[in-house]
Chain A
Amino acid sequence: MGAGYSFNLRVLLPYFSDLGWGAVVTLELSVLAILISFPLGLIGALMRLSGNKVSRGLATTYVEAVRNIPILVLLYILFYALPAYGVPIGAFTAGMLGLAINSTAYTTEIFRGGFAAIPAAQYEAARALGLRPIPIFLQVIFPQVFRVVLPTLGNQIVSVVLASAQASIIGVGELTYETQSIGSKTFRYFELFGLAALFYIACVQLIAVFWRLFTRGAARTLSAR
């Protein structure tokens, strides 16, 4: 540490509640984006695998377009362009939608990989047993797909939490935004960004541990059926 700068966390005490609320918004943003994108990703994967050329083309175009554009550009388009066409949109909604749109593309690919991992014999065997298409999907295929994709979905949750920091740039009052705004008042950037980094690291590690337990539990439940 250079001359004139000394580590001091006490200066930040009055701002701890702001940081805490910022962290809550970070979590809200991430949870909503995940809850929207996971089911949409499943639908996207079914579209990519369907026999219908149009739905396959749509889903493929969506995935390729979104995965090859930075999230920040997507956030700017939502936040600045939609109001220009008379669609009023707040920062939080734009941030959440941007994260969800991005995450849907990746989740589509994750589910697609899961379906690809199921051998065709599973479909044939289920059909030979006289099962109809919907039970084949719900009772035979989906439980297996679910088990294949669970670990990768955990990585996707982590990606969404990390990406949510970019919502600060369009003014969503989440943790990174609060960190920066308190920094501009106190100039305690070193402590602030250190704390924020620790929060994200703790979050990610907790998600990883929790998800591993969840995956193991789910695998046991599914194989017990």
Chain B
Amino acid sequence: MISSGHFLGYVVLLLKGAVVTLELSLGGLVIGSVLGLVLGLMRRSRFGGLRALALLYIEALRSTPFVILLFFIYYALPLALNLDIPPYLAAISALSLHCAAYMAEVVRSGIDAVVKGQWEAAYALGLTYRRVLGLVVLPQALRIMVPPTIGVYISTLKDSSLASIIGFVELLGQGMAVRESNVGRNTTDILLAVAIGYFIMCYSLSRLGRYVERRTQQKSRAVAEAGERLSAVVLSPGGV
């Protein structure tokens, strides 16, 4: 065990690491969401070529371990392209590319969840594809997409721990550095502190996800009920 005086100092280091973990994974989520939105829209495109391309990307990335993608970017790309890729850049690129494949599925199922009648009604009003998508479908799809996006963030946050093995110092990286500076001592408490750090971040996010999901469901139920009342009034014989 590490003496308590030192341990407090280490906790400060771990907190700094946790902030880096949050930043790294949020960066991966944001870039991955932008790519995922493009890929998700490609999956529902009118052009077969775009659909196939997006499907290929999503299937390939979801069937490859994240470690392999990370190593490929960190070890293989610099040799092949004669580039210098620092650990930070490798980690955030790998997280973004990986996250994009999962976000593409979130976007696709979000679009699919908007009923077909919405598309037809918007087209019937004379809106173009872009306007139907931007003004009618996506605003509704986005609300449905929030809870699964939080789920993707949680798994991105957990995946970001692998950045420590290419030498990027985030939460786990800090923990391992503390371990190394205490060779010969039992450093279980540091590993457990790291685990608790991840737990607090992921558990809070999952509670947030559950809360948002419940609210979305309540809201969509309220909307559906309002719609039913409205159509009951409009369609009832004799009307208002």
Say whether A193 contacts B65, CB under 8 Å: no
- Interface segment among A89-97, A116-124, A158-166: the answer is A158-166
A163 touching B65 in the complex, CB below 8 Å, given contacts A73-B194, A77-B191: yes
**Total CB contacts across the A-B interface at under 8 A:** 130
Residue-wise interface mask of B (50-90) relative to A, using a CB-CB cutoff of 8 A (1 in contact, 0 not): 00000000011011111111011001110111110000000
- Interface segment among B2-10, B109-117, B155-163: the answer is B155-163
Residue-wise interface mask of A (29-73) relative to B, using a CB-CB cutoff of 8 A (1 in contact, 0 not): 000000000000000000000000000000000001101111111
B13 lies within 8 A of chain A by Cβ: no
User: Which residues of chain A have C-beta atoms less than 8 A from B218's C-beta?
Assistant: none
B72 to chain A, nearest CB (A): 4
Say whether B161 contacts A197, CB under 8 Å: no
Please indicate which of the listed interface residues B62, B75, B179, B194 has the most CB atoms of chain A within 10 Å of its own CB.
B75
User: Which residues of chain B have C-beta atoms less than 8 A from A196's C-beta?
Assistant: 68
A3 touching B82 in the complex, CB below 8 Å, given contacts A70-B159, A176-B65, A205-B63: yes
A200 lies within 8 A of chain B by Cβ: yes
B195 lies within 8 A of chain A by Cβ: yes
B140 lies within 8 A of chain A by Cβ: no
Say whether A81 contacts B71, CB under 8 Å: no
User: Which residues of chain B have C-beta atoms less than 8 A from A158's C-beta?
Assistant: 63
Say whether B65 contacts A165, CB under 8 Å: yes
User: Which residues of chain B have C-beta atoms less than 8 A from A64's C-beta?
Assistant: 203
Say whether A73 contacts B198, CB under 8 Å: yes
Choose one: B188, B202, B206; the contact of A69 (CB below 8 Å).
Answer: B202
B220 to chain A, nearest CB (A): 21
A108 to B46, CA, bound (A): 40
Main secondary structure of the interface of B (DSSP, over half): helix
Say whether B172 contacts A72, CB under 8 Å: yes
A201 lies within 8 A of chain B by Cβ: yes
Say whether B63 contacts A72, CB under 8 Å: no
Say whether B71 contacts A193, CB under 8 Å: yes
Say whether A73 contacts B65, CB under 8 Å: no
Say whether A200 contacts B195, CB under 8 Å: no
Nearest residue (CB) in A for B160 is: A70
Main secondary structure of the interface of A (DSSP, over half): helix
B224 lies within 8 A of chain A by Cβ: no
Interface size class of B (residues with CB under 8 A): 35 or more
A73 to B187, CA, bound (A): 13
B19 lies within 8 A of chain A by Cβ: no
Nearest residue (CB) in A for B165 is: A169
Say whether A200 contacts B75, CB under 8 Å: no
A133 lies within 8 A of chain B by Cβ: no
B205 to chain A, nearest CB (A): 9
Say whether A77 contacts B188, CB under 8 Å: yes
A175-198 at interface with B (beta carbon < 8 Å) = 176, 179-180, 183, 187, 189-190, 192-194, 196-197
Say whether A204 contacts B75, CB under 8 Å: no
Say whether A80 contacts B187, CB under 8 Å: yes
Nearest residue (CB) in A for B154 is: A68
A2 touching B81 in the complex, CB below 8 Å, given contacts A165-B68, A176-B68: yes
User: Which residues of chain A have C-beta atoms less than 8 A from B164's C-beta?
Assistant: 72
Nearest 4 interchain pairs by C-beta: A165-B65, A68-B202, A2-B82, A204-B63
- 10 A-B pairs, CB-CB below 8 angstroms? A68-B154, A84-B186, A85-B188, A162-B66, A166-B67, A190-B76, A196-B68, A197-B72, A200-B63, A201-B63
